[in-house]
Amino acid sequence: MAIDILPDSRTRYSRESVRGPNGITYIPLHCANCGKKGGMVPEKMITFAFYLCQSPCAEKYGDDAHFYKEPDEVFWERVAAAELEDRGRPLTPQELVVELEDTSSVFRKLADEWLAHVRRTER
């Protein structure tokens, strides 16, 4: 069974972005179903955001979000599974650094895959 991943509700382009008084750029969220503008989130501090407007989408279709998983959650589950399969236990920070330096390591491949995902969402 395929994993259903929530869609990203952040805008792809920063046309509607706003620079806050603290120097942080905020980008708007849009409803994942109808596209209605919602709140705003800091651009550089997050890699994913999901938004479903309360009216009419959540009222009409119900809150289906509990069936889905966030991309971050899926990534960390894959890391935990790789740790258990490879070592039978979670890796120490030092062991993880060694694994990430090895280009043939499963952990390096997961990290490269995650970086590619982050770069795709930054476009």
* CA gap 88, 95 in Å, rounded: 13
Higher pLDDT, 100 or 53: 100
pLDDT tens, position by position, 2-40: 667 777 778 777 678 888 888 888 888 888 888 888 888
Domain borders along the chain are 14-65, 71-122
Instruction: Kindly give the residue spans of alpha helices, DSSP state H, lying in the chain.
Output: 59-61, 71-86, 93-101, 106-122
Q: How far apart are CA 81 and CA 43, in angstroms?
A: 30
The answer to which of 6-10, 32-36, 61-65, 103-107 has the lowest mean pLDDT is: 61-65
CA–CA separation, 104 vs 46, rounded Å?
29
